[in-house]
Structure 1
């Protein structure tokens, strides 16, 4: 019996030795990769319990903190301590906020972060030491080139390129003195070199600046180059390829992007009075509330209301030129106030004798009402002297880069 047991044991040993060892996998413990550190607003978020929310209509600072366990006495102390940096009474519905809480049993709120806008934020420290400071998210600038063609409108041309509507306003601002955007033609083309802002290198935060552009309107190229002539203010203006400033004495129109519903004409059938009479102004149809800007520097000589004009503003620019803006929903300036070109003086409405929201723009030369589109208005200034050579040297590589961008075709 012992002999049989010994033989059986040997068989088991040899059977084990004969197994295919290739199928026997060696199990190794895989090292887990370190978790990436998420840092925002200057804090390592993994160190806290994070609450992200949006301020609702009717919310206030005290109500928000009360929901998260901060008593009224502490809220008052915080408000009084940080009021010079952060005014709790001015938080706005729709703004994002973040509360960072301690990872303790009480989940004690330690920091309140208010997102002022996409870039700027305010941190309120609510722990043992109460304080507040403002800061900015990291912003990077990315240079872009774009080419487009107008098929029906500039907005649609931008949308077709997947571009921000902010570029529409940039172009209209640059060329508002030289191109009549109410007369764009199918096939007009544009090219731009510009800079975009990105938060954390990924989130689009708007257009930072335009370096150069060319807009081909009716077959003629209009160049624009951003150039700093005032080193004290650091403010740049746009000039063309001949060093002539694009900014002129008068804007082409008193508002951005609408349509001309009625032009200056000596005989027109009045839609309200139902009779033929002269229309000594240019009507720009636009939604109620659209800002109306003064087309040149001057002084407000009337800000009033009449049954015909509705709410209106009249601006004297110098001894020769005066402009008037009618049918406003609301006036934004007072009589005697000095205004600068582009200042908002009121908002589009339909007060007075008007059938729909628009602004009637009237223009006087030496006391006589005229059609502004038929006037030889003051021209822009040029860069002169030695500064002109500096300007040409500055724009040479920009112009070459612009010219190397292919025009987009229909």
Structure 2
């Protein structure tokens, strides 16, 4: 160690004087910084503490979620354009039971309270054993609560569940009428809806035809003298029509025939048993992003304490992320609008609509036809938004559903014995769908 010290001292002394001065100064400064400690003040008396009373509404404003954008009901310029082909729901919805469905999975995707679902199941245990092809319909209160549910178990038996003070009360009705097939046919004049009504179809039956054929054609673009033939099964009781069910439909447009025939599962297929629905993507982006705010039709505004429905899901993502169309359809809205910022709305057939909000850039135009997976926009942070995210909504029959759990269309077809039974049904129905 002494040898090292002597060597360092010798080297230092051999340096020119300016260099020795500089090196010495740096050494002193380094030592000063190493031993320095800031002076800390220690008060001799206790600090002054003040208690501030806050009102409940002021406490809410301090919660983390108070900084989230609270979506309001769609403003007039954000609403999806409607036309005569749209069925007016009045808070009513219909659903055909399909594979894997349960009472809970069906109703929960529409935001119906789990407590109401449990009370329904308690009113009738048979609701736990619904079968494919059966139909549910329900109405909601102005606040979005379940008011009444109807279960069509078969053509003969229908059960209705009405809200009462402590749950739901069930009533059953058995139909005694005779079911007969009726062929209604005509040609398109001014519009399909008017022409179909002139041919004898009710408004409900017209809506059934439009839903069955929605993936094959745009009814607004049918031309004069296009032909249609509709086979309805109608229940007649004491000479009056009680209810009806669409069996099959054939439309000839510009010389080409389109068909939709009902299967036992309640869905409609073409003449070969191939499904008519176009499959959807579950997410509107190439990869999944974190959900920053869930679907909640009863979400409380943390500041006001009032219900402010969140009719979609928010995905937190970097600005500029490509946003994809989840299914084939037509762009009905592509514009900048108030709280939604830049947003796009796409109509898929006549039943489904999707909306994409707070975008940075729109890549499509109203009226444009798009395919599943097409880029329609880049995500952003426009409108009433506190951070980069995509607000995504799915609507079924003009009612918002949970995009993460909704039963979305998928491309499918019948196989095995189901297809064999269906093709046998087709042989009976096709000869009846005639124009002459």
TM-score by length of 2: 0.36
Greater strand content: 1
Q: TM-score, normalised by structure 1?
A: 0.38
Flag the structure with more relative contact order, 1 or 2, with Cα contacts below 8 A and sequence separation at least 6.
2
